[in-house]
Amino acid sequence: MYINFWYPIIRSEDLGPDKPERAKVLGVNLVAFRDQEGNARVLSDTCVHRGGSLGGAWELGSNPRIVNGCVVCPYHGWEFGGDGVCKNIPSIGYGKKPPARAKIDSYPVQEKYGIVFAFLGDLPEAERPTLLEIEEYEDPAWRANTVLVLEVDYYYERSIENGLDPAHNEFVHPTHGYQAINRETYSVRDFDVTDYAQGWGMWFLHKFDAPPLKGETWKDAKAEGGELYAGSGTHGPNTMITEINIGKGQKFRQYFFEQPVDEGKTNIFFVNMRNFMTDPKMDGPIHARNKIIAQQDIEVLNDVWPPRTPTSNTKEVLMPADKAVVAYREWLSRFDEKGWRIDWDEFTRRNGKETAFAIPSPARRESGNWVVEPMPLLKSRAARKSALSDIEDISAA
């Protein structure tokens, strides 16, 4: 898992004006709420007083949880603004200045596509990877289904790689129209992998056989010549794009913004766009079909072992059809070299015992004196070499 990317936190419709909401992302708890202007805010969920959860224990008290645009800790009433700075500590008297250390991490937020996103990392704005742009989202020729959130019990990289795999469709998704493969003629066509146009990832396009779907509902989704082009790509470690082009300019474009909860759970925020079958009455059938397809993937991925993707491609027997998966892993290696990968083993060894962790926010580059420890990160290869060189120099001296 990586810091310094945009992650979905909660659907916009699920974040009301009066109640904070908790979300667990990258193994740590966050709290989302709306300030006085209705803007979404996302903070670390650990109160620096006695470890209370800013988003927890809603039902235990009758006091308001959002006061003057601040989220109120239910344990002792400390009030934190959207910038993460404590504004009031009741025990010393309202209006008295809290100590400088009374602050928690606050993360940049964008609210788009019906989703509240937070940038979980400490990079300054000019250096941050972008949030993926859905270019057709405001185009009247396209229609978006409401955001669907899929909760799955497997590692997010397994989920992403499944979407980059053109060899699994005929075996996992009989509802695509396949009943059985022709063993004498079947193989996966060759395809090329390129960089994704918006950067920070890869893209491929592949020609599939496409038997027609059954039923009157899908008469307009018949692919020309029984073939279609479909491709997938990535943007950062946790965002995937899929395009299904059935011909005649008719396309589905699907966006999967993945929220890694921990190593065994992922929430997938799914936005489905289409430029045909745009009657609102088609929203329900399309959602239902997408859920069926997703469930077929879920049933297989629940049993994949090991749960986390191998750290070396030599631990699997990869084929030419896996070249998109390999390209994705190469991008992850680039993020490793930036020092953005969480040291998950160290995190799980210490987290929840005597130590609380927070994803470092941009404010940590501007000030010190933070109470909650930052997430442990793996050093890049260059940093490890530099550290080793320093040790050797000391030994030589």
Ranges in the chain, pLDDT < 50: 391
What token pair was written down for 208?
Answer: 């599939």
Residue with tokens 């129209």, as numbered in its chain: 177
Amino acid (1-letter code) at residue 109? V
CA distances from 117 to 12, 293, 357 (A): 10, 26, 20
Residue with tokens 């930036």, as numbered in its chain: 338
φ, ψ for residue 381 (rounded to 5)?
A: -60, -40
At 394 the pLDDT is 53
- Domain-by-domain residue ranges, the chain? 131-336
Provide the whole-model pTM: 0.92
Q: What is the dihedral of CA 311, 313, 317, 320, to 10 degrees?
A: 140
CA distances from 323 to 188, 198, 205, 210, 328 (A): 12, 20, 12, 22, 9
| 269 Cβ contact list (under 8 Å, min separation 6) | 8, 11, 115, 147, 148, 149, 256, 257, 258, 259
| 338 Cβ contact list (under 8 Å, min separation 6) | 4, 380
Across the strands, what pairs with 373? 357
Residue with tokens 């940590």, as numbered in its chain: 364
**Greatest Cα pair distance in the chain:** 81
Look up the CATH superfamily of 131-336: Naphthalene 1,2-dioxygenase Alpha Subunit; Chain A, domain 1 (3.90.380.10)
Residue with tokens 């390999």, as numbered in its chain: 326
**Contact 239/202 with Cβ under 8 angstroms?**
no
